[in-house]
Amino acid sequence: MYGLSSQYRKPKNVSMSRDLAQQIAERSLYGKVVVAAEKPTVLLSSVRKQWMRIIRLTMIERSRTLKAERIMQLTNELQRLRSLKFAVGHVDEVSCNVLFASADDLARLAPACSTLFVTYDFPREYLHLMTSWMPRSGLVVFYGQS
């Protein structure tokens, strides 16, 4: 993890899936996002529900806005959010923007991403393997750990 930034998050008033969806929406601007999850399929379905909520709230904000410049910004943001592709497991990482996988899969895959979200504990060696192809400006976010 040499040269990478790290951050620890413990969401207090919202669920982890809601916070994760918000973080993915923000960090996807900088490149690919990878989420290390114990049960990737379960977490993806939970995050997708929150993702649809973010899209719905953005649509509502867009319809309430009167300023043409802000409407254009929100239209572009909606387009970007809708175009992101989510995937589970050890699939071809080129075809997706957000990948959910277990630590075992990610240690073998070593994805090139700008942001890695870690949602559970696993051996430290896996973390070094996962972050080996990340750029120096990358971010590793640990959920519920210190």
- Number of neighbouring beta carbons within 10 Å of residue 57: 10
Please report the pLDDT score of residue 55 as a whole number.
98
Which residue ranges form the domains of the chain, and what is each CATH number?
A: 5-143 (3.40.50.300)
Confidence of residue 33 (pLDDT cuts 50, 70, 90): very high
Q: Tell me the C-alpha distance between 33 and 9, whole Å.
A: 16
DSSP classification of residue 111: -
Residue 80: pLDDT over 80: yes
Q: Which of 7-11, 81-85, 141-145 has the lowest mean pLDDT?
A: 141-145
Please report the pLDDT score of residue 93 as a whole number.
60
Q: Tell me the C-alpha distance between 85 and 52, whole Å.
A: 13
Nearest 5°: the CA angle 69, 26, 54 is 75
Mean pLDDT of the chain: 91
Strand partners, 88: 100
Residue 86: pLDDT over 90: yes
- What tokens were used for 98? 């957000």
Q: Which residue has the higher pLDDT, 93 or 74?
A: 74
Q: Which residue has the higher pLDDT, 120 or 110?
A: 120
Please report the pLDDT score of residue 145 as a whole number.
64
Residue 47: pLDDT over 70: yes
Q: Tell me the C-alpha distance between 122 and 125, whole Å.
A: 9
Q: Tell me the C-alpha distance between 56 and 54, whole Å.
A: 5
DSSP, residue by residue, 120-145: S---HHHHHHHTTTS-TT-EEEEES-
Q: What SS3 class is residue 33? A: strand
Nearest 5°: the CA angle 31, 35, 39 is 155
